[in-house]
């Protein structure tokens, strides 16, 4: 922080008696900020909020110029996670790329896996060959993940205001969903479950019944959280008209997702540009007409209920749709048949017996697919889906080899952060975290 007192000092020089206001700054770019302040001859305070973790699910730095308690200017500083995921994907085969991109937005991992795999399938020309059951499982995992992500957004946003009960209820409901993920994929997050051509493995027997058993608990907790907050006068006083952004301003900075729909524009790719058969499901796109922090929370609650409607429709179809979960082409279908053993680790004994004792051809094929991967025809593709935070797009470029020449993602958290200044400038310092939490950025996606 720069200090702003009547003291004998300058921004960079030695102390001098009665030299006027003091502007002291150390490290990073503070000396430049202080020099600019002195040049302008204005009295101001620059507050460095971060790099910390203010309801952002990652490390973010905000540079705030304040006048008393009023925010005059806000600048966002990113780049503190240093993941390098996109660059690393250039050195792994196409299937291994899923293991990288799932770790970008770790609160909603399936929403990186799906557009990436849809893009790879389009380059391969196998989009129509993906089995229906695999597509239904993808929709199921995305909608479960959408609810879990919104619960984290609402719960942690309340926790930042001191409402710890909001977070505990939200995480209690999310825990039920993570149990489902662990039963299906073996992991609670960073799954690598969606694969080019389908999914890694089919649902275990009894999974649909298990999901039906847990969904009422999730609905109960969503309703309890909603009852606790939406009519609460304290919650409303901290949310209503805080972090407001107009529809025109939201569109101008590329805002998408619940923040844009709260302004009244029903932009949802599941309806406008359907993928994975979303056009065959019955659901609505919730909107409001005033994009402030309160209405953004309201939209997320309503989207949770719409996702529940989709989940029940998917479960009905899954129970009536047997079949494979990976394309039939064995040059692509890896590792669909590498079933997990009964101990939950490694491959099934049947597969090991075949490749080690029965078929030399199977062993060679297994070795080449696992170590080298399959080749993808040269070309490029962009595939976008509706992420819990907005539109995510996967841009993939292939040079005809077994690895991506380039993989780049349009992450909604990164784009949405451009609106932070518009939401916060002119407001109170205490409202900055409220506005930021209502954007729901996840810095793993920002710093990919």
pLDDT (mean) for 123-137? 93
Predicted TM-score (pTM) of this structure: 0.84
Q: Over 90: is that where the pLDDT of 2 sits?
A: no
The confidence score (pLDDT) of residue 40 equals: 63
pLDDT (mean) for 339-361? 64
The confidence score (pLDDT) of residue 5 equals: 39
Q: Over 50: is that where the pLDDT of 12 sits?
A: no
Q: Over 70: is that where the pLDDT of 250 sits?
A: yes
In a domain, 64, yes or no: no
The confidence score (pLDDT) of residue 1 equals: 40
Convert the pLDDT of each residue in 16-32 to its tens digit: 445 555 555 555 566 77
The gap between the terminal CA atoms of the chain, to the nearest Å, is 29
In a domain, 266, yes or no: yes
The confidence score (pLDDT) of residue 370 equals: 77
Q: Over 80: is that where the pLDDT of 102 sits?
A: yes
User: What confidence tier does 256 reach under pLDDT thresholds 50, 70, 90?
Assistant: very high
In a domain, 19, yes or no: no
In a domain, 78, yes or no: no
The confidence score (pLDDT) of residue 9 equals: 40
In a domain, 80, yes or no: no
Phi, psi torsion values for 340, nearest 5 degrees: -75, 140
Any residues with CB less than 8 A from the CB of 116 and at least 6 apart, and which? 97, 98, 101, 194, 383, 394, 396, 407
pLDDT > 90: percent of the chain: 45
Contacts 24+ apart (CB under 8 A), 158-162: 158/229, 158/235, 159/55, 160/54, 160/55, 160/433, 160/434, 160/437, 161/235, 161/238, 161/433, 161/434
pLDDT (mean) for 217-224? 94
Looking at residue 150, which CATH number applies to its domain? 1.10.645.10
Token couple for 411: 């992450």
The confidence score (pLDDT) of residue 386 equals: 94
Distance (Å, whole) CA 199 – CA 133: 9
In a domain, 65, yes or no: no
Average pLDDT, the chain: 84
Q: For the chain, how big is the Rg over CA atoms in Å?
A: 25
pLDDT (mean) for 64-85? 84
Distance (Å, whole) CA 268 – CA 298: 16
pLDDT (mean) for 295-306? 94
In a domain, 164, yes or no: yes
Convert the pLDDT of each residue in 165-204 to its tens digit: 989 999 999 999 999 999 888 888 888 889 998 998 888 8
Q: Over 50: is that where the pLDDT of 91 sits?
A: yes
**Number of domains the chain contains:** 1
In a domain, 364, yes or no: no
pLDDT (mean) for 407-425? 90
Beta strand 406-410 with 379-387 is unpaired
Q: How many CB atoms lie within 10 A of CB 313?
A: 18
> Which domain does 186 fall in, by range?
85-334+373-446
Convert the pLDDT of each residue in 366-396 to its tens digit: 777 778 888 999 999 999 999 999 999 999 9
The confidence score (pLDDT) of residue 358 equals: 74
């Amino acid at each position: 922080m720069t200090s702003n007192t009547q003291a004998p000092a300058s921004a960079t020089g030695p102390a001098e008696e009665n030299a006027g206001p003091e502007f002291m700054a150390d490290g990073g770019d503070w000396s430049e900020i202080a020099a600019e302040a002195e040049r302008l001859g204005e009295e101001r305070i620059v507050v460095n909020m971060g790099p910390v973790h203010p309801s952002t699910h990652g490390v973010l730095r905000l540079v705030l110029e304040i006048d008393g308690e009023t925010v005059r200017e806000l600048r966002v500083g990113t780049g503190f996670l240093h993941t390098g995921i996109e660059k690393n994907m250039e050195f792994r085969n196409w299937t291994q790329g899923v293991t990288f991109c799932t770790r970008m937005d770790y609160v909603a991992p399936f929403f990186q896996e799906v557009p990436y795999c849809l893009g790879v399938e389009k380059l391969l020309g196998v989009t129509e060959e993906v089995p229906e059951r695999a597509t239904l499982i993808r929709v199921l995992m995305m909608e479960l993940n959408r609810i879990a992500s919104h619960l984290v957004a609402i719960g942690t946003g309340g926790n930042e205001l001191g409402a710890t009960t909001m977070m505990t209820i939200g995480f209690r409901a999310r825990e039920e969903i993570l149990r489902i993920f662990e039963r299906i994929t073996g992991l609670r997050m960073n799954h690598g479950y969606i694969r080019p051509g389908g999914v890694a493995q089919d649902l275990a027997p009894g999974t649909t019944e298990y999901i039906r058993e847990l969904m009422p608990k999730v609905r109960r907790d969503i309703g309890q959280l909603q009852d606790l907050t939406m009519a609460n006068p304290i919650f409303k006083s901290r949310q209503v008209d805080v972090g407001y952004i107009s529809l025109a301003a939201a569109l101008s900075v590329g805002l998408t997702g619940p923040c844009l729909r709260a302004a009244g524009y029903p932009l949802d790719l599941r309806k406008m540009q359907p993928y994975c058969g979303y056009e065959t499901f019955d659901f609505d796109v919730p909107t409001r007409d005033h994009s402030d922090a309160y209405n953004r929370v309201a939209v997320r609650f309503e989207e949770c209920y719409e996702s529940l409607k989709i989940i029940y429709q998917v479960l009905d179809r899954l129970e009536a749709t047997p079949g494979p979960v990976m394309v039939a082409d064995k040059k692509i279908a890896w590792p669909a048949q590498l079933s997990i053993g009964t101990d939950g680790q490694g491959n099934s004994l049947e597969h090991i017996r075949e490749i080690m004792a029965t078929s030399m051809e199977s062993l060679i094929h297994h070795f080449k697919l696992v170590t080298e991967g399959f080749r993808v025809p040269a070309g490029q593709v962009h595939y976008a889906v509706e992420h819990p935070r907005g539109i995510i797009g996967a841009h993939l470029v292939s040079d005809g080899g077994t690895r991506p020449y380039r993989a780049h993602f349009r992450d909604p958290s990164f784009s949405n952060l451009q609106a932070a200044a518009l939401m916060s400038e002119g407001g109170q310092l205490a409202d900055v975290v409220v506005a930021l939490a209502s954007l729901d950025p996840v810095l793993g996606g920002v710093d990919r």
